[in-house]
Structure 1
Amino acid sequence: MRIESLSTPIILFLLLFPAVLFAQTKKSAEAFLTNEPVFIDGNLEEDSWNRAIPATDFLQFEPYNGKTPSQETEVFILYNDQGIYIGAKLYDNEPDSILTQLGSRDDDNLNADFFGISVSPYQDGLNKWIFLVYANNVQYDAKGTNNGDDENWNAAWESATSITEQGWFAEIFIPYSMLRFPRKDAQTWDINFWRSIRRHRELSTWNFIDNNIEGDIVQSGVLTGIKNISPPLRLSLSPYVSGYLEKQPGTDISTYLNYGADLKYGINESFTLDMTLIPDFGQVESDDEIYNLTPFEVQYDEKRQFFTEGTELFDKGDVFYTRRIGTTPGGFYHVEDHLGQGERVIANPSEAPVINATKISGRTSKGTGLGVFNAMTARTEATIEDSLGNTRTVTTQPFTNYNMIVADQNILANSRVGIFNTNVFKGRNEQMANLTGADWEFKNASNSYSFLGNFKVSNKINPEKENESGISYYLETSKRSGTFRYDAGTWSQDDKYDPNDMGILNNNNENGYYASLYHLVLNPKGIILNSRAMLASTYVHRQNDKKFQWWDVKLMYHSTFKNHLSAGAMIVFLPVGNNDFYEPRTEGFFFHSPFAHESSFWLSPDYRKPFVVDVRLTYFDMPSRDNNMYKVSLEPRYRISDKAFLTTEITARQENNQMGYVANSGSEVFFGSRDLTTYETEVSFKYIFNANSGLKLKARHYLIYGLYDSFYNLEIKDGTLSPSEYTGDHDFSFNAFTIDLSYNWYFAPASSLSIVWKNAVYSNGNGDTTSYFSNLKNTLEAEATNSLSVKVLYYIDYVKVRSLFRK
């Protein structure tokens, strides 16, 4: 890699990165020691609350940033040697109008008022813990960074609410074991309080959050007064037991019992060990499977809680894709290659079983973050049977160890640098994958300018052939505040860079350059509450031979009006088309597409209304090839009552004359012109009994069929198509129908009972049935996979157990 390739972005950064000082005054609140019992009942009747000095004078965050809120708020803070108590009096002169829609734990967009706390004991400007309670006592918690919130983090804390003639009250207790804080005599934490008055769509904060500045952590106030406390021993065990009834197509009902545990141990005040022993992921919601026509793998969301909770330190872009762990074995699709005369495959596990997984992560009082992640999967074997009934096994994936190490250092006001390494080891005789990288994010003190990037080197260590190494880098500079904002950057991966043993990257051998300009209206103006306009462009070419791939220009506008109707539109141009080096799936070929454009429009009404419909329309056109696409998406949302909520997502997509790969033979590559029709319907229903229990249903039907009308030869010289004599039957259809029905009851903090029924049907066809309802009927009549499971998980906290024995 030449040094010149990095010089322009670095010079640009140095010119555009002013050292602007952050002048906003931080409010200060004081916590008061209490020695009397405080009962979490939502009433704030103990004498200790009367001795505390309230935090007051909230200011609006939206819609009128910096203006006085419509209602007053008082927040009181107490502490003892067990934890911190927070009481909020959320006054409201119309208490009958307080909105109280119920929802599941961690629902983040209920039609209900809420009170929230964000706390950052290390005052690093980068990390926070969030504790939020709705007026109906539904809890939400998360670990937050400047890049977003990790809603999968769950803590064991207590809350209670009450609605009175004065408004509503919230009472919260957060044990010290749920937080990480420095070991010192007097604590000083960054803290802020949030209040939402949903009927006004009004959000306010105690310490003012200027929406002209990106990021709220650095705009927190300060909490003082907590003295002579020590970080407790953070030790908890969450054992579980689960039972399953399963019925696979063509087999009898099977039953099995699982048991295991999740362990959390606070190594010290900064670092925590998380371990899952003999994990059970059988109740994880079904993937939204699709029919893949691309040359790349489909990337599905991670839904297993252990791999989503507390992983923010490991989130390094394309290098940490936890769906690799416990996924389809590498040799799953090649078992039939091992068959002899008269043999057949009688068992071929589709997932490598996870033995255990461990995380150690945390950050010191000096801002040093360290993380270690390790997971192991057992050897996976397929079973082959001959005509005499004798069996043998074939290893489809050996025992595999996945490992990642991260070191991260906070520097300056709210910046950071880090290094990381991933390693996948499958035994001495197998390829070992190793990746090492560094990343950084520099911001000025006011968080208005930033420069971020990374540099990575991948290594494939092969026992029988030459090792391979590849390089990747990414750089970006941006202006993050003000009416006008921008970002500009570049990325590169050479043709040997490959993170895919533990990460995910569709293609390497790429250089890209992009720039975006934004105009924001942050405060109400006329009929508009806020708006965002964008002009952006991206240019990409191959890294090794500099051959052009694509160039696009995007225009986007989105606005929310004073009636809380949101609307937007975007148009994307490919002025000179694009060259696709991957769709031909044959070395030396590329596929050229001419000028094209895509337009989309969306509309989203005010969610305070009981019934609304979100609408999105998309149109794509490649005029010279008569290739066009229409897509309509509708999302009706019906709030039947505060306990019942129904949503439906309906998408219909029609694409005509799309060109795609169908086959190759020797030096010839064949493409086909196809019409693609896709329907996707998803129905979600929630019935919430109370703040701790509820029923959730998700049913999804996905149908796609493709009909080919002509075939072409792909020309190796210029990527164009010419008529072909190739014939083949490539018409297809694919149906996926899944149901996930679950009941969850949180009978104690972080303890739950869950009952789950899962139904799944997948079917392939040759496209002979194009009627939606005929496909649905045939799918429902096909044999399904059914699973009924019950799981009980109980949270045991060492501090609580010790205090019970002392009593």
Structure 2
Amino acid sequence: MKQFFSILFLFIFCFGYSQKKTLQTKKLTSENITIDGNFDEEIWKTTPEATDFIMFQPDNGKVIPENKKTIIKVLYDNDAIYIAAKMFDNEPDKILREISQRDDFGTSDLFGAFINGFNDGQQDFQFYVNAADGQADCITTDANGEDYSWDAVWKSKALTTDFGWTVEMRIPYAAIRFSGENKQTWGLNFFREIRRDRQKFTWNFIDSKIGTFTQQAGILEGIENIKPPTRLFLMPYSSFYINANSQQKTIGTLKGGLDIKYGINDAFTLDAILIPDFGQTKYDDQILNLGPFEQQFNENRSFFTEGTDLFSKGNLLYSRRIGGKPINRPQITNDETITDNPVSVNLINALKISGRTKGGLGIGILNAVTEKTYATIENKITNETRKQELQPLSNYNVLVLDQRFRKNSSVSFINTNVSRNGSFRDANVSALAWDLNTKKNTYNLSGDFKYSYINDLEDKHGIATTFNFAETSGNYRYSFGGDLVTKEYDNNDLGINFETNYYSIYGNANYRILNPTKYFNSFKLSTNLYTQFHKETGKLQSNSININVNLDTKKNHYVGFGVNLNPQETYDFYEARTAEDYLIFPKNYNAWVYISTNYNYRFALDFNPSYAIFNETKRRTYEFSLGPRYRFNDKFSMNYNFEFQRRNNNKGYIDSIDDDLNTATPDAIIFANRNVVTYGNTLSGKYSISSKMNFNLAVRQYWSFAENQNYLSLQKNGRLTDYINYTNNKDSSFYSWNFDLSYSWWFAPGSQVSILYRNNAANFERNINKDFDKNVTSLLNNDALSHAFSISVKYFIDYNSLKSKS
């Protein structure tokens, strides 16, 4: 009890002090700045400098050598801030400068400017330029890391010189957020990476003993009485698609769309899709899913990925629900067949409003509407067709209120709501989340409380809560916490959640070096414990011990290895696909190794083998991935990755037998003793003509099959016994092919031409053909193989440029 009050005292009364550098900026009056990397305007000569960079990694706290000194200057006007950076290098011919596409650093030296317009230590807008003149940008928070899906419109130029290299940047106020005060004080830091040495430096010292990055920025002063212009941007786009396969004629389609971005004020922005077009969105990497839960896919639509930090609070939003599968499946009689069964729902429009007040209150609103969706069903006898409604007109809404305080803590309220027209299911989920840190960022208290309400044929209510305490500084760190999720908790209408009806406790302890040693640049040893119990019965659902080591060698090769121990039988309440039955899962042990050689070399290799043994006869799992990569020159590189997994004598659900369809419990739950084998091949490559003009290749071939050896029946005690009367073929074989070849040209800031050719196919069968070559060949010659060619043009229009021309 005494220790608890000591920790509480730290949260309430702990105060600290850290030295912050300050940089003064100057205002442009009449002189114009040309973004060319030369700094030949007269005003640059009298602008204050930011110097004396300090190493962040690997030798934290070491002063940058004089022959690598870095000098930064900042100017501003009513439209933007301007940054000039000189990076000295005593061996300029060794500066790495691989050309890459936007948001890809490549193997290049790097410069970055990190801006926090509220100086609250919680969110940075980061802008990077590499030595090959490529751009990257992201939003960064300590809680969620770096989000590179966010893209801003700004200008930059990098030049190589006889003393090193230079960068000049123009970052408009529309790309950042700040208060409306006449006198601004911003958080600011600068970053430099010398890639050949893998050394990272910052202007204001980032102490790695403290578990935070964004809260250790310096200060930018001098911005006063600015009058930013109206922030209104229009992004019209037009796309032409040609689609063809063996089952239909070649079809050409012309589409158009419009996105709008409007600055409500200096801190809040409205983003809207008036006419959606996601035709060039990346394909999903589908797998053979034998488990009880759906496959979770990445979000590839830019509107739902850009600047969504606020909407990730509470982990309640899985945006693939918007425009995903219809909530109902077609219901037909024996005389009917389905002629059109939509796999997704069309989006009508969407908008989001986000920003933060001067007092630190972040407000986020996301709204989307999807259209009514039907299946077409045909009567095989009369040939008459009918429509069946699978999903009504639906509205999706997210509200987030996030109050920051003391520059490193926040409390958030989140609400998600799905309203479907008519008598369909509606859902509402609310959450209170907190992330509290001591003044010195040495301890963290985080957690949330969530409540779900489902309005359906039968209403249900549920709760989920989590609590975590952690020491976040020093060589030795630890954390512990717990979760509770009730049986009726359900956030799957707009979020994603797999397991319910459990409680758990967990802990972590780790040791790391903060500065290089004789053998390692970095080293971390971690131990993790996790135990989960079924809430209603108290049965053990999980009990794992994980020990792992991660390190960087002095030659910048990365090595990781570890073991996972599950020393007790556990109870799986999900695999049986019923509410009451469970499967006893055996004791098992797993070991893994990961090796990644230094990407600075032209040839590099990733290798990741693992092996698992189970306390069952001949039940084993082994897998590995092998990924060579080669950089031919600064323009051209190729990456290949091969993955293989084999699960011998795996036990899994395949069917339920129910002689009386009116009963809730099946007469028999059938499992299979099976071998599951998976092959995956991916090939990616890029050829960059310049940092603004790139060719990209992405190829993926996937094949996985589950071959059943014999059949088993699940008993009420969770054990499996032989079942000899089952004769259905429940073998599974799924293979897929994706091929994307694209050309991208950023012909102006924010404006892009994209040309894409792709073909893809997928097939599921019950009969397994183990001839790998024939499988791939038959897939490529399959009637389902489709071809698509598209050209898309997006143009960025600044309202102020139109206004000045009128």
TM-score by length of 1: 0.96
Q: Equivalent residues in 2 for 1:110-259 (5 A)?
A: 110-146=106-142, 147-259=144-256
| 1:454 aligns to 2:448 (yes or no) | yes
Contact 1:572 1:599 in 2 (8 A): yes
Aligned to 2:732: 732
- CA distance in 2 between counterparts of 1:248 and 1:385 reads 24
1:195-230 CA deviation, whole Å, 9 max, x = no partner?
111111111000001111122111000001111103
1:13 Cα deviation from its structure 2 partner: 5.8
- CA distance in 2 between counterparts of 1:223 and 1:408 reads 25
Contact 1:460 1:468 in 2 (8 A): yes
- CA distance in 2 between counterparts of 1:318 and 1:771 reads 43
- CA distance in 2 between counterparts of 1:478 and 1:692 reads 44
Deviates more, 1:710-719 or 1:188-197: 710-719
Q: Equivalent residues in 2 for 1:173-572 (5 A)?
A: 173-331=170-328, 334-335=329-330, 337-339=331-333, 341=335, 343-386=336-379, 390-462=384-456, 465-572=457-564
1:490-515 CA deviation, whole Å, 9 max, x = no partner?
11110000000000001211111110
1:388 Cα deviation from its structure 2 partner: 5.5
Deviates more, 1:38-47 or 1:345-354: 345-354
Contact 1:73 1:91 in 2 (8 A): yes
1:349 Cα deviation from its structure 2 partner: 2.0
1:623 Cα deviation from its structure 2 partner: 3.4
- Structure 1 residues 607 and 18 mapped into 2: Cα distance closer, same or farther (>3 Å)? farther
- CA distance in 1 between counterparts of 2:654 and 2:342 reads 29
Deviates more, 1:13-22 or 1:748-757: 13-22
1:150 Cα deviation from its structure 2 partner: 1.5
Residue type at the aligned position of 2:63: T
| 1:26 aligns to 2:20 (yes or no) | yes
- CA distance in 2 between counterparts of 1:165 and 1:803 reads 40
- CA distance in 1 between counterparts of 2:422 and 2:734 reads 41
Contact 1:492 1:511 in 2 (8 A): yes
SS in 2 for 1:225: strand
- Structure 1 residues 317 and 186 mapped into 2: Cα distance closer, same or farther (>3 Å)? closer
| 1:611 aligns to 2:603 (yes or no) | yes
User: Over the residues paired in the alignment, what is the CA RMSD in angstroms?
Assistant: 1.8
Contact 1:706 1:767 in 2 (8 A): no
- CA distance in 2 between counterparts of 1:592 and 1:389 reads 50
1:616-670 CA deviation, whole Å, 9 max, x = no partner?
0110100333210110100111111101111011001111111111222232112
- CA distance in 1 between counterparts of 2:5 and 2:500 reads 26
- CA distance in 1 between counterparts of 2:415 and 2:4 reads 25
> In structure 1, which of residues 584, 590, 600 is the aligned counterpart of residue 576 of structure 2?
584
> In structure 2, which of residues 87, 104, 109 is the aligned counterpart of residue 107 of structure 1?
104
- Structure 1 residues 340 and 627 mapped into 2: Cα distance closer, same or farther (>3 Å)? closer
| 1:632 aligns to 2:624 (yes or no) | yes
What residue ranges of structure 1 are gaps of 5+ in the alignment? 1-6
1:428 Cα deviation from its structure 2 partner: 3.4
Aligned to 1:60: 55
Aligned to 1:776: 776
1:431 Cα deviation from its structure 2 partner: 1.7
Residue type at the aligned position of 2:165: W
- Structure 1 residues 719 and 197 mapped into 2: Cα distance closer, same or farther (>3 Å)? same
Aligned to 1:749: 749
Contact 2:10 2:438 in 1 (8 A): no
- CA distance in 2 between counterparts of 1:787 and 1:8 reads 68
Contact 2:37 2:168 in 1 (8 A): yes
- CA distance in 2 between counterparts of 1:543 and 1:785 reads 48
1:334-392 CA deviation, whole Å, 9 max, x = no partner?
32x23573x43322222100000110110011100111110010001122334555432
Residue type at the aligned position of 2:676: L
- CA distance in 1 between counterparts of 2:760 and 2:242 reads 14
Contact 2:314 2:414 in 1 (8 A): no
- CA distance in 1 between counterparts of 2:172 and 2:10 reads 44
1:272-323 CA deviation, whole Å, 9 max, x = no partner?
1100112111101111110100010000110100000111101034420000
Deviates more, 1:426-435 or 1:685-694: 426-435
Aligned to 2:685: 685
What residue ranges of structure 2 are gaps of 5+ in the alignment? 658-665
- Structure 1 residues 82 and 512 mapped into 2: Cα distance closer, same or farther (>3 Å)? same
Aligned to 2:800: 799
- CA distance in 2 between counterparts of 1:587 and 1:456 reads 22
Aligned to 2:32: 37
Aligned to 1:700: 700
Deviates more, 1:225-234 or 1:132-141: 225-234
Contact 2:712 2:720 in 1 (8 A): no
Contact 1:619 1:631 in 2 (8 A): yes
SS in 2 for 1:560: strand
1:11 Cα deviation from its structure 2 partner: 7.1
Contact 2:416 2:494 in 1 (8 A): yes
Aligned to 2:662: none
| 1:598 aligns to 2:590 (yes or no) | yes
- Structure 1 residues 766 and 430 mapped into 2: Cα distance closer, same or farther (>3 Å)? closer
- CA distance in 1 between counterparts of 2:676 and 2:4 reads 46
Deviates more, 1:177-186 or 1:55-64: 177-186
1:525 Cα deviation from its structure 2 partner: 0.7
- Structure 1 residues 8 and 390 mapped into 2: Cα distance closer, same or farther (>3 Å)? farther
- Structure 1 residues 731 and 384 mapped into 2: Cα distance closer, same or farther (>3 Å)? closer
- CA distance in 2 between counterparts of 1:700 and 1:9 reads 54
Contact 1:62 1:202 in 2 (8 A): yes
Contact 1:183 1:230 in 2 (8 A): no
1:65-85 CA deviation, whole Å, 9 max, x = no partner?
111223100001111122111
Residue type at the aligned position of 2:414: F
Aligned length: 792
- CA distance in 1 between counterparts of 2:119 and 2:491 reads 34
Contact 2:756 2:789 in 1 (8 A): yes
1:561 Cα deviation from its structure 2 partner: 0.8
- CA distance in 2 between counterparts of 1:25 and 1:649 reads 46
Contact 1:705 1:733 in 2 (8 A): yes
